[in-house]
A and B are shown apart, each in its own frame.
Chain A
Amino acid sequence: MEELQGRWHDLDRLLLRPGNLVGPGFEPCAELRDLLQNDCKVLVIGAGGLGCELLKDLALSGFGNIDVIDMDTIDVSNLNRQFLFRIHDVGKPKAQVAADRIMQRVKGVMVTAHFCRIEEKDVDFYRQFQIIMLGLDSLEARSYINSVVCSFLEYEPDGGLDYSTIKPMVDGGTEGFKGHARVILPGVTPCFQCTLWLFPPQITFPLCTLAETPRSPAHCIEYVHLIQWGQDRVGEKFDSDSPEHMKWIFEQAVKRATQFCISGVTYSLTQGVVKNIIPAIASTNAIVSAVCALEALKIATMCSKGMDNYMMYVGTQGVYTHTVSYEKDPNCIMCSPGVPIEVDCSCTLQECIDTLLNDQRFKAKLSRPSVSFQGTNLYMQAPPILEELTRPNLRLSLLSLMGGNPSGGVLNINDKKLHGVLRVRVSFSKEMDTT
């Protein structure tokens, strides 16, 4: 195995397992294999197109303890790429079938399945893994995991990162011939929040276009789906899995299209638009997942230079890959040491909380925030006994609560609405109150 090189030197303090740290003079082959086999726990989120490939690649690469989580059951349209599933598996939980098949094929690997939503697992579930692999198909799911993993980060008061709290994530995504693989080391490389702008905006058609001036078959379909259904089938909740509902949408969409002299409404397109179907093929998933698995291998064994940090793959014309080194947002609300806010020296804790609730950057993410500073609870919304105990602090000066240090410091904000923690770096404006 090649020696640790380049950019990741500073991560050699990364603890991959609690307790023993493999020393620099080790004999590469045997101990590394043991580490992968016994000490490294990996979580694969998603047992679909990427998940099946990830499980295979990780198991064959020597990882011995893999957990997989997926809330879906198997559909016939999965079979063109999710090769761990067979026609007679349709309807069964993906995570369970995938785990069983991998264990059948690869000697010695332990794969534990979780058939549930990722939100149903508490934060400590995710804490037990050394590496988290993402084979997801939505932005929301990625954001959720991102906030959980970023909440594990611990910063020193001076903003220095405790590297042992970094939990690496490797994320893959595909659509048709295109895909990406990226390595996220929260606090070091950009997290999802830092690069939210990378995701293309979801296509939504303006209502006036749908209602008055449709031009494409998709416009006709969406009109029937979003507007006409509610008018003609009052009180009925639309179910995209119901063949009758889909057939109705299709037939009405055809009528509308004919009315506007638009061609191209097919049943297949109707399903695609209404269900937001992502076209998918086996080979793109195979490539992207394998790139992700390679990165996991490098992270676990430090055997080679890691990806820095985002690779995109395009297979439409020939083969094209491009790797970009994105930078994190120093003021990221998820992974930075603290999002800057400025308050008056005389500001009370209550006023500070009010400032946060009115700040555009986080008001949607907060409802009833609790505040702590360097491990001390300044104000807790719950349980009632703590709330009562800390309520007097609300009237006190924030500056005094933060140790009287005029250069400010970092507050940790917790809230039911947040999946993680919001770190806020408070600075006090120079003007002193005259009273």
Chain B
Amino acid sequence: MEAETDSLTEQETAVYDRQIRVWGVEAQKRLSKSRVLVVGITGVVAEVCKNIVLAGIGKLTLLDDKPLSEEAVASNFLIPFFSTEDEGCCSIASICAEALRDFNPMVHVFVEEGNVIEKPGSFFDDYDAVIVGRSSLGLRKHVNLMCRNRSRRVAFYTVDCRGSSGAVFVDLQKYAYSSQKGNAEIWQEKHFPNLEEALSVPWSSISKKTSKLFFAMRIIEEFEQCEGRVPGQISCEDLPALMALRKKMCESQAVGDSMVPESVLKRLADAGNAELPPVCAIIGGILGQEVVKAMSCKGEPLKNHFFFTASDGKGVIEDISPSQ
């Protein structure tokens, strides 16, 4: 994605003035040419969309056929309150698209229909980045592989917020970027593992100081898959089963149960499919900025997981990659 020599329009220069002072005109130009696909819209995903639309990406495509429901609206600022007659009338994607176009008319916002699993590989050629929201591990792995099979790199992100915690995963494949070192701009490279590789790292080789959320989310993921649950469809009643699964998984990974404190699992179970709005905003802000960095090829990217928990206010980056 090369920056072309044509300049920003007068409106772009006026509206983006304050951010051009942060990352420069060239980065803004690259941003304005970028195309992002978003699959699955929850509260945190809505926040990411807001941030990248305000930043002025070129094109945003939303893919989520789920119909409007009171649940979906609770932590999604893009959807205005509506009466129960409207429930089910249109898709979450179309309502969000309308709101986002309003935030920044200079960004082209589209709605794509259908199931992402059924899209051919060529579908992903139209995008520079794909963000996948709450979904099954199978879907995330599938989309990740599709992104990697294209001739041009397609950046891949996943994000999920559960109650007062959340996580981001980043796969930029082999990624070259510029960053500031004092007064000089230098070019560097980072290599990212794909999702399958990252999640296959044996737990016994991962530092004990790593965020417990990583392991807890793997257990929740496994549970949801085995029980045939829609992701997020868990509750405190599932805690005993989750604890049993924890024991099983920790054993097979040759680590102690203490890798995954009960309190962390309980908090996630209690959360169910709810998202705390300020937590969505924090994680949405972090991921939004990651996408801006990757689309402008400027700034050190986060590698490769980010975790946040409101209870201790800690946001941490964890590099969970297979050792070379």
Contacts and interface: CB of A to CB of B under 8 A. Distances in A.
Contacts of B288: 282-283, 286
A25 B37 CA distance: 48
Contacts of A293: 277-278, 281
Contact of B286 (A283, A311, A316): A283
Contacts of B292: 281, 283
A400 interface: no
A57 B280 CA distance: 9
B51 interface: yes
In this complex, the interface size class of chain A, counting residues with CB under 8 Å from chain B, is 35 or more
Interface string B57-84: 0000000000000000011010011000
A60 B15 contact: no
B313 A307 contact: yes
Contacts of B317: 318-319
Contacts, number: 150
Contact of B278 (A83, A268, A277, A297): A297
Interface string A388-429: 000000000000000000000000000000000000000000
Given A2-B311, A83-B103, A282-B50, A317 B179 contact: yes
B306 interface: yes
Interface residues of B, number: 52
Interface string B1-43: 0000000000000111111111100000000000000000000
A195 B278 CA distance: 27
B232 interface: no
A284 B285 contact: yes
B278 A290 contact: yes
Given A77-B14, A87-B105, A317-B179, A291 B278 contact: yes
Interface string B255-290: 000000000000000000000111111101110110
A165 B14 CA distance: 46
A56 B281 CA distance: 10
Contacts of B289: 177, 281, 283-284, 315
Contact of A319 (B56, B286, B310): B286
Interface string A85-106: 0110000000000000000111
A280 B22 contact: yes
B315 A176 contact: no
B55 A61 contact: no
A289 B281 CA distance: 8
Contacts of B237: none
A278 B17 CA distance: 10
B312 interface: yes
Interface string B290-316: 001000000111100010001111110
B47 interface: yes
Interface in A157-196: 176-177
Interface in A50-70: 53, 56-57, 60-61
B54 interface: yes
A330 interface: no
A290 B282 contact: yes
B102 interface: yes
A82 B236 CA distance: 38
Contacts of A297: 278
Contacts of A268: 17, 20-21
A283 B313 contact: no
A80 B312 contact: no
A279 B19 contact: yes
B293 to A, nearest CB: 9
B68 to A, nearest CB: 14
A267 B20 CA distance: 13
A81 B281 CA distance: 13
Interface string A269-289: 000100001111111111101
A78 to B, nearest CB: 8
Contact of A290 (B18, B179, B279): B279
A281 B55 contact: yes
B51 A294 contact: no
Nearest to A86: B102
A280 B19 contact: yes
Contacts of B55: 80, 281-283
A397 B281 CA distance: 60
A106 B81 contact: yes
Given A80-B56, A81-B54, A60 B75 contact: yes
A409 B56 CA distance: 61
Interface string A27-70: 00000000000000000000000000100110011000000000
Given A297-B278, A305-B311, A290 B285 contact: yes
Interface in A292-335: 293-294, 297, 304-305, 307, 311, 315-319, 321, 323
18 contacts: A60-B75, A60-B77, A60-B278, A61-B276, A61-B278, A83-B50, A105-B81, A268-B21, A280-B19, A281-B23, A281-B289, A281-B292, A283-B292, A290-B282, A291-B313, A293-B277, A294-B310, A304-B310
Interface of B: 14-23, 47, 50-51, 54-56, 74-75, 77, 80-81, 102-105, 179-180, 276-282, 284-286, 288-289, 292, 299-302, 306, 310-315, 317
Closest 6 CB pairs of A and B: A290-B281, A107-B81, A286-B285, A60-B277, A287-B285, A279-B21
